[in-house]
């Protein structure tokens, strides 16, 4: 008998996971799974931190169950990339994933094929985004637009004079609206101003 971990997530505190839980318990009974743990998160799908999911993955690494049952794929992950990362880790741990709504089962050939297709689509989407960004940068360069941050313009002579007047590094940085590290670099690059010697012509 395979051991199963059930995962439920609802978006707000006003929703209840009982509907998801009922469906998953019935699915586990139909397949003859032994439910060893149930994990629940009441949190938005966009949130990165999920105590229930984190605990489930920690138990998966300890080998507490053989299959994960979730009510839907979007319940278990905040993005396609996160979803694929979870499936990839479960696969490396030899743990099957079953989605009730989409009827995905990575324990079978069709489920594994769907995961591969989803991964390929996600990779294609990432590559298209990268290409669009690069094309935009090339067009901006051709139009004479600056890419990235503008170079920082410093009055090195004024920084040296402020230092010679006895101002601290922090005071100079505040006065020129830069960091203390920038002031220190400027002082190292620009040699100290040499005060002209007043010669006594009567000597």
Residue numbers annotated as active site: 11
> What is the arrangement of strands in the sheet containing 3-10, beginning at the earlier edge strand?
34-42, 3-10, 67-70, 96-99, 104-105
**Pairwise CA distance, residues 97 & 52, whole Å:** 16
Residue 171 tokens, joined: 């005071």
Helix (H) or strand (E) holding 55: helix 51-61
Give CA angle at 93 (88, 96), nearest 5°. 75
CA 87 to each of CA 45, 56, 105, 109, 152: distance values in angstroms, whole numbers, following the listed order:
17, 13, 11, 15, 46
Residue 162 tokens, joined: 């402020």
Maximum Cα–Cα distance for the chain, whole Å? 112
**Pairwise CA distance, residues 37 & 154, whole Å:** 62
**Pairwise CA distance, residues 107 & 110, whole Å:** 9
């Amino acid at each position: 008998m395979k051991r199963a971990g059930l995962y439920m997530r609802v978006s707000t505190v006003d929703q209840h996971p009982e509907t998801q839980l009922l469906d998953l318990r019935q699915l586990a009974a139909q397949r003859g799974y032994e439910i060893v743990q149930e994990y629940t998160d009441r949190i938005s799908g966009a949130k990165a931190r999920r105590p229930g999911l984190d605990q489930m993955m920690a138990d998966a690494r300890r080998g507490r169950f053989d299959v994960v049952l979730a009510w839907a794929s979007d319940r278990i992950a905040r993005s396609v990339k996160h979803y694929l990362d979870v499936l990839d880790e479960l696969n490396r741990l030899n743990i099957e994933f079953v989605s009730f709504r989409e009827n995905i089962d990575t324990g079978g050939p069709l489920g594994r094929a769907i995961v591969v297709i989803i991964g390929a689509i996600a990779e294609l989407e990432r590559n298209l985004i990268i290409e669009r960004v690069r094309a935009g940068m090339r067009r901006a360069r051709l139009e004479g637009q600056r890419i990235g941050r503008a170079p920082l313009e410093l009055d090195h002579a004024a920084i040296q004079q402020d230092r010679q007047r006895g101002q601290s590094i922090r005071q100079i940085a505040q006065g020129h609206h830069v960091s203390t590290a920038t002031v220190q670099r400027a002082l190292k690059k620009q040699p100290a101003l040499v005060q002209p010697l007043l010669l006594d012509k009567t000597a």
